[in-house]
Amino acid sequence: MNNTIDPRTKLFLVLCISTIGLISRDVLILFSITIVGIIISKIFGGNFFVLIKKIKKLLYVFFFIIIIQSIFTRQGNPVIVIGGFEIVTDLGLNRALGYMFRVLIIIISGVIISTSSERNTIQGIVQLGLPYEFAFMTAVGIKFLPLLIEEFKDTYMAIQLRGINIMKLPIWERFKITSYIFIPVVASALNKAKKLSISVESRAFRAYDRRTSITSLKLKYKDYLIILISLTTAFALIYLKWI
Amino acid sequence: MNDILLQGKNIYFKYGEKDSQILENINIDLQSGKIIGIMGLSGSGKTTLIQILNGLIPKRVPGSYKGKVLIKGDDISKIEVEKISREIGTVYQDPDTQIIFSCVEDELAFGPENLCIKKEKILKKIEEVLKLLNMEHLRYRNPNKLSGGEKQLVVIASVLTLDVDIVILDESMSQIDDKGKILIKKGIERLRDSGKGIIMVEHDIDNLSIADDIFILQGGELKRFEGNLL
Amino acid sequence: MKDFIVIKGLDFYLDSKAILKNINLTIDSRQFISIRGANGCGKTTLSKLIMGIYPYRKGSIKIEDREVSEMSLSEIGRKIGYLFQNPEKQIFTSTVLEELSFIYKYREDIDKSRKEKEIDEILDTFDIRNLKNKSTFFLSQGEKQRVALASVLLNKPKYLILDEPTTGLDYKRKKMLSEILDKYKNKIGVLLISHDYNFVKKHSQKIISLEGGCIVYE
């Protein structure tokens, strides 16, 4: 299924999913969109759960921030009360869940887009009328993102391999030591970007305003069907004010 | 007598006015059907020399530069950097920072697409290059999943589809194992036999065993290598 | 000499592909062993399994009689110093001196009173005194490698694993690395991963080849 769906269709799907994710206030709708998104990404051959496993440490930090945010939301009816103090309200919980589902929707959108080859994704964006350079840079960015994540992990490991048990350090030292990861990762990213730019320039990138392509995409009936269903569902949700 | 494809004449270079001279009075001639090997220690100026020969210096990399580089008799300073890529293909050390796509065919098509070459001609060129380097079986493979030697061959192929006559290899074998080196060397020999001019820059003399002439870059000067490392 | 690293019946799969099959290997604490093999044959994977970087399900890897899977990365790092193939991954601070001082700041088990003396000695051993205040961003590949290795050795590990340390080094820098390894030869065991046969042959007491995921002795 993955190879036969046009990348423009996937971009459109992602646009619908992320638009609903952005404007919806209803946690149940956001939850449903998340589940639908996971199913769609699975049908297209994406590895949502594998990706979640790889970035789970980053997600813990993010969700920790969301929980702290919900604790500081004072409006609404109390849900968790400890010793007479309102810790979490229903509105705070609602917001926290909302943010969490929106983050997951962003990740799912990335997974759906990544099920097409970067060449086809670039071609799809170009055939939608956007400049090639924009499409190319986006695709290259997506390609290098997992490599950067690997670099973060490697460097975190390298710190521990110096015999430093990060979990046993006081919390402020832990934050400080984690900041050391950024130096090698940023250095590596800058280095890679420089080498890549020299390499593509050596291969005539941006030599002319136009360029040709050996790839050409054509929408099939499957694509039109998916676009129609996505559009109808999105409009229905908005029209029926379920969002 | 083979055609002279690339000439460097009386090249001097340093990065800043107060810095020491990196290159002094470099003269180099590359003929078609020949391989020139250039050897030198880290920091001797090998990459700087490559960047002068492929036009990156002084157009993209600033510095104090004197001298002339001629491509088939034309002054390189009068040709735009992007258009120099029709004449000179440069292959760098790390294939992972040169490979962009997840299909070898797409990788090979990238350069000629940038030059607005028609689809049919590009596909024909891809077939020719794959045949030349004995890589037809890799056409639809994911280059990121190939061995180091195969990856480097993909990068060499991707500059050849630009129809260049001059290929410069900047330490392209330093991360490659023995088996991969044999593969790459065979590929380079095929290029030479087809009339291309090749400059190979390495710091390991074993990697230059296929070169017709070897030079050593030392103290900013380029000297013919007579067989003794200092 | 005693058994320092003992590997028994180790299998490792990645994306359902067998990378290592039934690896059995015993390494003595002072032994200099090299592992050779083509790109992608599993040399680095084996070293990362020993270091606990990759988890393993089938087989056993023990360091000083303790199963690696039951040890934390920091515990393993205190016993074995690891030099990554790309030394950039293990340089965290902005100057060379800060880099060498790193462990003295964060490890409670290290004698901080010896910091100045030990750093002083290592600056000379690795010929990096002139780089002391230099930014790590502007180090060359050879310099980064020396700084990374110096930092690892300040840990006083009992064993060293070096992953492709000669990559990108010219003959002069290889000679320098060779001299450094000679200095440490009888003090610390080394597992060298390299496809540089001359370098491997010069230093190793035993050379192991990996082919098709299996060990072939030379």
- Summarised one tens digit per residue, pLDDT across range C128-181 is 999 999 998 888 878 888 999 999 999 999 999 999 898 878 888 888 889 989
Q: A94 and A139 share a domain?
A: no
Residues belonging to chain A: 243
Q: A45 and A67 share a domain?
A: yes
- Summarised one tens digit per residue, pLDDT across range B83-113 is 788 899 999 888 888 998 989 999 999 999 9
A93 within domain boundaries: yes
A124 within domain boundaries: no
Q: Where are the domains of chain C?
A: 3-217
Q: How far is B227 from chain C (nearest CA, A)?
A: 15
A219 within domain boundaries: yes
- Summarised one tens digit per residue, pLDDT across range A12-71 is 999 999 998 888 888 888 999 999 999 999 999 888 888 888 777 777 777 777 777 777
- At A243 the pLDDT is 53
Q: Which H/E stretch holds residue C43?
A: helix C43-50
Chain B positions in Cβ-Cβ contact with residue A117 (cut-off 8 Å): 101-103, 106
A147 within domain boundaries: yes
- Put simply, the answer to whether C89 touches A164 (Cβ < 8 Å) is no
pLDDT at residue B129 greater than cutoff 60: yes
Averaged pLDDT score across all residues of chain B: 89
- The tokens describing A62, both together, are 């993010």
How far apart, in whole angstroms, are the C-alpha atoms of residue B51 and residue C42? 36
Check: CB of residue A207 under 8 Å from CB of residue B111.
no
Q: How far is B57 from chain A (nearest CA, A)?
A: 12
- The tokens describing C128, both together, are 């990096």
Read off the pLDDT band of B210 (50, 70, 90).
very high
pLDDT at residue C186 greater than cutoff 70: yes
Q: A36 and A104 share a domain?
A: yes
Q: Where are the domains of chain B?
A: 4-224
Sign of CA dihedral B181, C198, C20, C158: negative
- Summarised one tens digit per residue, pLDDT across range B55-66 is 988 887 888 899
Interface of C with A (CB under 8 A): 51, 53, 72-78, 82, 84, 88-94, 102-103, 106-107, 109, 136-137, 151-152, 155
A78 within domain boundaries: yes
- At C89 the pLDDT is 84
| ipTM (interface predicted TM) | 0.90
From A118, A200, A204, residue closest to B115, measured CB to CB: A204
Q: How far is C51 from chain A (nearest CA, A)?
A: 8
pLDDT at residue B230 greater than cutoff 60: no
A102 within domain boundaries: yes
How far apart, in whole angstroms, are the C-alpha atoms of residue B4 and residue B70? 10
3-state secondary structure chain A: CHHHCCHHHHHHHHHHHHHHHHHCCCHHHHHHHHHHHHHHHHHCCCCHHHHHHHCHHHHHHHHHHHHHHHHCCCCCCEEEEECCEEEEEHHHHHHHHHHHHHHHHHHHHHHHHHCCCHHHHHHHHHHCCCCHHHHHHHHHHHHHHHHHHHHHHHHHHHHHCCCCCHHHCCHHHHHHHHHCCHHHHHHHHHHHHHHHHHHHHHCCCCCCCCCCCCCCCCCCHHHHHHHHHHHHHHHHHHHCCCC
- At A226 the pLDDT is 93
A123 within domain boundaries: no
How far apart, in whole angstroms, are the C-alpha atoms of residue A122 and residue B213? 43
How far apart, in whole angstroms, are the C-alpha atoms of residue B198 and residue B5? 10
Q: What is the mean pLDDT of residues B15-23?
A: 84
- Put simply, the answer to whether A202 touches B109 (Cβ < 8 Å) is no
Q: A171 and A135 share a domain?
A: yes
How far apart, in whole angstroms, are the C-alpha atoms of residue C107 and residue A165? 8
pLDDT above 90 as % of chain B = 59
Q: Which of residues 87-146 of B touch C (CB under 8 A)?
A: 93
Chains that touch B (3 or more CB pairs under 8 A): A, C
Q: A82 and A135 share a domain?
A: no
Read off the pLDDT band of C1 (50, 70, 90).
low
- Put simply, the answer to whether A164 touches C77 (Cβ < 8 Å) is yes
Chain A positions in Cβ-Cβ contact with residue B116 (cut-off 8 Å): 208, 210-212
- The tokens describing A54, both together, are 């790889």
Q: A101 and A221 share a domain?
A: yes
SS3 B109: helix
- At A38 the pLDDT is 92
From A140, A203, A210, residue closest to B162, measured CB to CB: A203
From B100, B119, B122, residue closest to A140, measured CB to CB: B100
* Full residue range of the structural domain in which residue A176 is found: 131-205
- Tell the CATH superfamily of the B4-224 domain: P-loop containing nucleotide triphosphate hydrolases (3.40.50.300)
pTM: 0.80
Which amino acid type is present at position B226? E
Which residue of B38, B42, B94 to mutate against C (max C Cβ within 10 Å)? B42
Which residue of A214, A215, A216, A217 to mutate against B (max B Cβ within 10 Å)? A214
A121 within domain boundaries: no
Total domains, chain A: 2
Read off the pLDDT band of C218 (50, 70, 90).
low
Read off the pLDDT band of C109 (50, 70, 90).
confident
Residues 6+ apart with CB under 8 A from A230: A12, A13, A16
Residues in chain A with pLDDT < 70?
A: 1-3, 241-243
Domain boundaries C3-217, corresponding CATH code:
3.40.50.300
